[in-house]
Structure 1
Amino acid sequence: MATVKASAAVSHVGRIRSNNQDSGYAGRTLFLVADGMGGHAGGDVASAIATRRIAEADSDYDSTTEAAAALEGALVAANRQLAATVADHSELTGMGTTVSAMILQGDRVVISHIGDSRIYLLRSGELSQISTDHTFVQRLVDAGRITAEEAMVHPRRSVLMRVLGDVEASPEIDSMVLDTRAGDRWMLCSDGLSGVVAFDEILELMSADAGAKQVADRLVKASLDGGAPDNVTVVVVDIGEPPAPATPPLIVGSAAAPLAIGQLEPVRARGIRLTPFRPHPVQETHFEPDSADYFDELIEEDARRRRRRRFVWTFWIVLLIAAIVAVFVLGYQWTQTRYYVGESNGRVAIFQGIQQNLGPMSLHELHTETDVDVADLRTYDQQRVEQTISAGSFSEAYRIVQRLEDSLE
């Protein structure tokens, strides 16, 4: 039977935001990350309510069916609790939270997921993303409209299509049951990590021969080194022989502290103390309904954006090409106003252009070949003609030829 060898949970506010709207939990059998959204204290409240409610499912189960029902039921109950909190505090309308959670049951892992927090599995040196983001850009990736790399910088990468909150009474939750075994390393994280640190770097950090706490710290530090524009929360779970005694449950992030919902008298909301909050100006991740009409509208808007981008790029490319062509034409026309005196077939000749080539294109041509043999000229004049004598016009070149002829007499 697979057991938890070690686990760790780390949460950091990041380098931009003024408060932490993430929550994380590392328990005996249950592990989760929740990323709140909704503005001001709404995200704090949402992730904390969800985390504390779902943490009640941290128990031993006789089967994966029982564990899966308990975990999904806990997410649905958290969703109802969020709706009830909004009903009591209308200023929190629209708040919500992502949740990525797993329960270890025997040699299996039961997973429930909604939103864009992620679950990864490192097994035998290979890292796999287990969860699928419920985001607008993930829809575009799945549809083949953009690449995963483009999704990282897409202007709508913050749009969530599914969350727990006061929007849907019965949210659609992804659930699955997977095998696990000794040596596996699981990692749950908010998008403060996955949206900043590249997959290959996550693989490298998770593959390190280090404990769960050290790996979690390194992952958070990688996000901070990358600018950490959002809160970042990481939970690492190593599967293997457990130490004695077992690590006690750990809560991090907003669920580990009193929360704030507004300038109100402190009240009780399902056992959680709500206290005044400090607003912050950082733009929040936001939620849009997962409806076909809305999704089609976003797809069309994204298509319009791509068409505008292609038009702008095409315009500037055409403009650049036109500028290069104009410079080339004007430059060539200027070269054809120049002349020089040189040698052609052993005789003194006048050439139009300059004595240079542009790739396979010659910038000069023979204009007039005289009857004066170069060999008849004085040694000094021979060298000058062989090296060419520049002239600003045909008349100037013609006068040079006349002076060379006069020198023969």
Structure 2
Amino acid sequence: MSRGFRIAAATGLHKGDRPYQQDQVLLIEHPRVKGCVLGLVADGMGGRSGGRKASDQVLMTAKQLFTRFSPAIDDMHDLLRRIVNDSHTVIKLTALSSESEPHSTVAAFLVNPNGECVWIHAGDSRIYHFQRGRMVLRTRDHSYVQALVDRGELTDDEANIHPQGNILIGCLGMTTSPPPIDTHHIARLKPGDLLMACSDGLWHYFSPEEMGAVLHEQSPRSAVELLVEEARTRAIGTGDNISIAVLKFESLPREPKNAGEPSQH
């Protein structure tokens, strides 16, 4: 299908100052449908083995379901909900067969060849939508401090340095409640749009304005490298795992006019 844009993409993964990596990141094109793309970040929790098992389960589940997805006939919301719910079930089963208590966040976006987009998230991994460097929207964390912000008891800046900022009220693998499922739909992405999924190991260190400027001015690969490097610098030896997936929609290059063809006025 002809599109009015081309896609540039990049991912980044760094263990930060932690002794092991529990984040996972995924950005893949559909095996049969060009221009259908799934991006996902999962931040595992529950000790060295438990957290990594949880984020691995999210990625494996997403890959399996995405491979069976048919963009022409299947519902995009349904696919993302199945990724969340099936991952949640598998993670809980993993907890029953081990001594760990695995949990994971998830932030995933799905784009069809015509530019339609749906995203979903659970926990405090985020998705940002930028248009030419300006933030249009971001996900709202399922966390204790976000609840305080929503009630007007904290500002966003205060929440970012709150000592209980890592307490989640919803994620995958919880035994007491199902994961929260928040989705968002974009009818058609256009040139200048950019989607970014990332874990709190990245977004914690930047304002939306800072991230938007870097993502707009740089290629996705350069932007990812710069943001990860700066997050590492700002963490001052206390940084969490970092995961990031970026999808940038760029204008198609103009076709050159044939030599000798008269110009049109």
- After TM superposition, the score normalised by the length of structure 1 is 0.55
How far apart, in 1, do the equivalents of 2:177 and 2:18 lie?
30
How far apart, in 2, do the equivalents of 1:69 and 1:164 lie?
17
Aligned partner of 1:157 in structure 2 is: 165
Q: 1:175 to 1:168 in 2, by over 3 A?
A: farther
How far apart, in 1, do the equivalents of 2:153 and 2:182 lie?
23
Q: Does residue 53 of structure 1 match 2:55?
A: no
> Residue 44 of structure 2 aligns to which amino acid in structure 1?
G
Aligned partner of 1:190 in structure 2 is: 199
Aligned partner of 2:135 in structure 1 is: 127
How far apart, in 2, do the equivalents of 1:32 and 1:219 lie?
18
Larger Cα-atom Rg:
1
CA offset at residue 242 of structure 1?
8.3
For residues 258-289 of structure 1, what are the alpha-carbon distances to aligned partners after superposition, in whole Å with 9 as ceiling and x for unaligned? xxxxxxxxxxxxxxxxxxxxxxxxxxxxxxxx
DSSP-derived class of the 1:27 partner: strand
For residues 133-155 of structure 1, what are the alpha-carbon distances to aligned partners after superposition, in whole Å with 9 as ceiling and x for unaligned? 01100010110001111101111
Asked which structure has the greater RCO (Cα within 8 Å, sep 6+), the reply is: 2
> Residue 131 of structure 1 aligns to which amino acid in structure 2?
T
Aligned positions, number: 238
CA offset at residue 166 of structure 1?
4.4
Is the 2:4–2:252 Cα contact (8 Å) retained in structure 1?
no
> Residue 213 of structure 2 aligns to which amino acid in structure 1?
E
> Residue 35 of structure 1 aligns to which amino acid in structure 2?
D
Q: Does residue 101 of structure 1 match 2:111?
A: no
DSSP-derived class of the 1:146 partner: coil
Is the 1:123–1:183 Cα contact (8 Å) retained in structure 2?
yes
Query: Which has the larger share of helix?
Result: 1
> Residue 20 of structure 1 aligns to which amino acid in structure 2?
Q
Is the 1:2–1:239 Cα contact (8 Å) retained in structure 2?
no
Pairing partner for 2:15 from 13, 16, 19: 13
Q: 1:4 to 1:109 in 2, by over 3 A?
A: farther
How far apart, in 2, do the equivalents of 1:147 and 1:103 lie?
31
CA offset at residue 206 of structure 1?
1.3
Q: How does 1:196-345 map to 2 (within 5 A)?
A: 196-208=205-217, 210-227=218-235, 229-240=239-250
How far apart, in 1, do the equivalents of 2:58 and 2:25 lie?
10
Structure 2: gaps (5+ residues) = 30-36, 254-265
DSSP-derived class of the 2:75 partner: helix
How far apart, in 1, do the equivalents of 2:4 and 2:127 lie?
18
DSSP-derived class of the 1:51 partner: helix
DSSP-derived class of the 1:19 partner: coil
How far apart, in 1, do the equivalents of 2:45 and 2:5 lie?
33
How far apart, in 1, do the equivalents of 2:132 and 2:104 lie?
32
How far apart, in 1, do the equivalents of 2:83 and 2:195 lie?
21
CA offset at residue 4 of structure 1?
5.5
> Residue 167 of structure 2 aligns to which amino acid in structure 1?
V
**Structure 1 vs Structure 2 CA RMSD:** 2.0
How far apart, in 2, do the equivalents of 1:4 and 1:102 lie?
17
Aligned partner of 1:138 in structure 2 is: 146
> Residue 57 of structure 2 aligns to which amino acid in structure 1?
I
DSSP-derived class of the 2:12 partner: strand
How far apart, in 2, do the equivalents of 1:3 and 1:52 lie?
30
Aligned partner of 2:39 in structure 1 is: 31
How far apart, in 2, do the equivalents of 1:237 and 1:166 lie?
30
CA offset at residue 129 of structure 1?
3.8
For residues 97-126 of structure 1, what are the alpha-carbon distances to aligned partners after superposition, in whole Å with 9 as ceiling and x for unaligned? 000001002221111110001111110331
CA offset at residue 84 of structure 1?
1.4
Q: Does residue 118 of structure 1 match 2:126?
A: yes
How far apart, in 2, do the equivalents of 1:3 and 1:167 lie?
43
Is the 1:197–1:222 Cα contact (8 Å) retained in structure 2?
no
Pairing partner for 1:40 from 3, 27, 48: 48
Structure 1: gaps (5+ residues) = 244-409
Q: 1:51 to 1:242 in 2, by over 3 A?
A: farther
CA offset at residue 21 of structure 1?
0.8
How far apart, in 2, do the equivalents of 1:231 and 1:4 lie?
30
> Residue 174 of structure 1 aligns to which amino acid in structure 2?
D
For residues 179-230 of structure 1, what are the alpha-carbon distances to aligned partners after superposition, in whole Å with 9 as ceiling and x for unaligned? 311221111100001112233321221121x321111111111111112510
DSSP-derived class of the 2:24 partner: strand
> Residue 182 of structure 2 aligns to which amino acid in structure 1?
D
> Residue 243 of structure 2 aligns to which amino acid in structure 1?
T
Aligned partner of 2:258 in structure 1 is: none
How far apart, in 1, do the equivalents of 2:207 and 2:192 lie?
23
Is the 1:117–1:189 Cα contact (8 Å) retained in structure 2?
yes
Is the 1:86–1:166 Cα contact (8 Å) retained in structure 2?
no
Aligned partner of 2:257 in structure 1 is: none
